[in-house]
């Protein structure tokens, strides 16, 4: 009997121990893998070892430009997009056992490449995954256009994995800031990144110093080219004389409380424009960051324009950026603006980063086609995208504005596609307003226009060849791609 008791106890202990180990493995798996795709997540990267006689490349990869797409059909469709892209990436990397695909949030990934011998090449891996850049993939029978940017670094034995990830992230951010598909980390990038951090700390005093200015660019009716109003834009002349557009500094301000100050400043400029006798009855558009689209900001905006007895039918609020609030709150805030007679526009990239339900529920008047899209209408995919946006707008009773129009061929294409309004340097550069309301060309914008007219110089770029084992030492002196 005693033996049976001992055996029973041993069996029970063994079962409990086995279940405990299984539970530990289960929790460890959950902690180190993405629940949607089952790919390793970023927590798993810390356990990766750098080859003692080689090197490691860390690639940070982000799909679809400035904002992660949420899809025009809601979160379920977005999840399908994430799964599809993850599967495609995994398949493309399956031929490279030294490459590990890791998943972060949304459509952000890391690829860890361990270099052991001269047979391995990062170039071939980059060439393989390029099959997923600038292409249309079918998700649940619906075509989805995908593109990516990459920032990468190479680290050697003795280096920190955490530092390598930081460097790759800085390089990725640089790719977005400088409109490059692939960037390799350099110390110069680190300094550049630090410079962007200083933006938030400088901005508060910049407005009081008059360093932040409003400029006005006309919007024209297609075909007739008659001006129908202006868009009020922001620019910032920094203490060192460098000029920044709102597209450059607003994404940084969105992470701080400074964005509210910009909204207040631009509202004051819009009111000043509307009150001048020379602008009587003229329509104007003002940008509103989605990150600032809350109950307080929209109420203050409406209160401000109504207190100066400005006809709200003259006003269009353009929503830019990705929505951070709950969809129902966003809808309510936009409905509040609409209730007070204010027209609403949304740029296309913001539209695709929001749910289809939101776009359908809110009475939006205009979809703006971003200059990043119109710049590629001479290419088949870019042209198809513009036509698709126009068709969607027409089917839903919306009008369209094409930004960044710079030449006659773009004008002709947009008009043939059915775009309602046109805006860009082809018609006018942004202009500054004097105290009496007269407008004069912004000299900085005029200078930019002259540069655009200059023949583009062909610049040769170095080939990425940093992964052959015998060349690793030399590769660290290579210029960033």
Which helix (H) or strand (E) segment is 344 a member of? strand 343-347
| The pLDDT of residue 110 | 94
Which of these CATH numbers, 3.30.200.20, 3.30.360.10, 3.20.20.140, 3.20.20.450, describes 201-453?
A: 3.20.20.450
CA distance 308 to 311: 9
Two tokens at 428? 């006018």
| The pLDDT of residue 121 | 73
| The pLDDT of residue 406 | 94
The CA distances from residue 460 to 175, 187, 463, 481, in Å, are 18, 22, 9, 11
Summarize the confidence of residues 402-406 as an average pLDDT.
Answer: 95
Query: Which of 54, 49, 52, 165 lies closest to 120, judged by CA?
Result: 54
Which helix (H) or strand (E) segment is 149 a member of? strand 148-155
Full DSSP string of 361-413: HS---EEEE-HHHHTTTTSHHHHHHHHHHHHHHHHTT-EEEE----SHHHHHH
42-185 falls under which CATH superfamily? Reverse transcriptase/Diguanylate cyclase domain (3.30.70.270)
| The pLDDT of residue 283 | 95
* pTM flag (> 0.85): no
Quick one: pLDDT band at residue 152, thresholds 50, 70, 90? very high
Summarize the confidence of residues 210-229 as an average pLDDT.
Answer: 94
Summarize the confidence of residues 61-83 as an average pLDDT.
Answer: 69
For tokens 């460890």, the residue is: 28
8 Å CB contact between 262 and 275: no
Name residue 185's beta-bridge partners: none
Of the candidate ranges 11-15, 77-81, 333-337, 360-364, the one whose mean pLDDT is the lowest = 11-15
Summarize the confidence of residues 145-161 as an average pLDDT.
Answer: 90
Tell me the per-residue pLDDT of 272-286, one tens digit each, with 9 for 90 and over: 999 999 899 999 999
Summarize the confidence of residues 246-267 as an average pLDDT.
Answer: 84
Look at 298 and 436; give whichever has higher pLDDT. Answer: 298
Summarize the confidence of residues 17-39 as an average pLDDT.
Answer: 73
| The pLDDT of residue 467 | 37
8 Å CB contact between 153 and 111: no
Q: Where are the domains of the chain?
A: 42-185, 201-453
| The pLDDT of residue 446 | 53
CA distance 387 to 85: 25
Of the candidate ranges 130-144, 222-236, 340-354, the one whose mean pLDDT is the lowest = 340-354
Summarize the confidence of residues 15-19 as an average pLDDT.
Answer: 68
> Does the pLDDT value for residue 94 go beyond 70?
yes
């Amino acid at each position: 009997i005693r033996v049976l008791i001992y055996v029973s106890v041993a069996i029970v202990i063994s079962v409990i121990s086995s279940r405990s180990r299984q539970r530990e493995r289960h929790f460890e798996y959950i902690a180190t893998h993405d629940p949607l795709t089952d790919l390793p997540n970023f927590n798993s990267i810390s356990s990766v070892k750098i080859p003692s006689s080689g090197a490691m490349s860390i690639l940070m990869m982000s799909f679809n430009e400035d904002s992660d797409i949420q899809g025009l059909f809601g979160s379920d469709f977005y999840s399908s997009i994430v799964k599809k892209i993850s599967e495609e990436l995994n398949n493309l990397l399956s031929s490279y056992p030294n490459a590990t695909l890791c998943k972060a949030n949304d459509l952000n990934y890391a690829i860890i490449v361990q270099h052991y011998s001269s047979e391995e090449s990062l170039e071939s891996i980059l060439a393989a995954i390029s099959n997923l850049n600038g292409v249309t993939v079918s998700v649940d029978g619906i075509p989805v256009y995908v593109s990516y940017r990459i920032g990468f670094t190479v680290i050697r034995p003795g280096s920190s994995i955490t530092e390598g990830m930081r460097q790759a992230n800085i390089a990725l951010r640089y790719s977005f800031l400088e409109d490059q598909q692939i960037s390799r980390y350099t110390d110069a990038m680190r300094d550049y990144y630090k410079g962007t951090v200083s933006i938030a700390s400088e901005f508060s005093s910049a407005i009081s110093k008059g360093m932040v200015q409003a400029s006005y660019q006309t919007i024209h009716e297609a075909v007739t080219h008659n001006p129908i109003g202006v868009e009020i834009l922001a620019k910032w002349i920094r203490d060192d004389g460098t000029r920044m557009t709102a597209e450059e500094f607003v994404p940084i301000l969105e992470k701080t409380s400074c964005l509210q100050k910009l909204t207040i400043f631009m509202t004051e400029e819009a009111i000043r424009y509307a009150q001048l006798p020379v602008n009587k009855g003229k329509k104007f558009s003002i940008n509103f960051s989605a990150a600032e689209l809350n109950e307080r900001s929209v109420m203050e905006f409406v209160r401000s324009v109504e207190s100066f007895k400005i006809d709200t039918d003259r006003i269009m609020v353009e929503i830019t950026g990705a929505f951070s609030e709950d969809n129902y709150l966003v809808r309510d805030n936009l409905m509040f603006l609409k209730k007070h007679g204010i027209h609403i526009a949304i740029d296309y990239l913001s539209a695709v980063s929001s749910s289809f339900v939101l776009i359908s529920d809110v009475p939006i008047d205009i979809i703006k086609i971003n200059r990043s899209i119109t710049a590629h209408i001479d290419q088949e995919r870019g042209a198809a995208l513009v036509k698709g946006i126009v068709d969607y707008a027409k089917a839903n009773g919306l009008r369209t504005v094409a930004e960044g129009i710079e030449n006659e061929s773009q004008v002709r294409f947009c008009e043939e596609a059915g775009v309602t309004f046109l805006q860009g340097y082809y018609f006018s550069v942004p202009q500054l307003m004097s105290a009496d309301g007269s407008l004069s060309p912004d000299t900085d914008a005029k200078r930019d226009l002259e540069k655009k007219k200059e023949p583009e110089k062909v610049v040769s770029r170095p080939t990425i060849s940093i992964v052959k084992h015998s060349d690793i030492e030399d590769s660290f002196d290579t210029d960033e791609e």
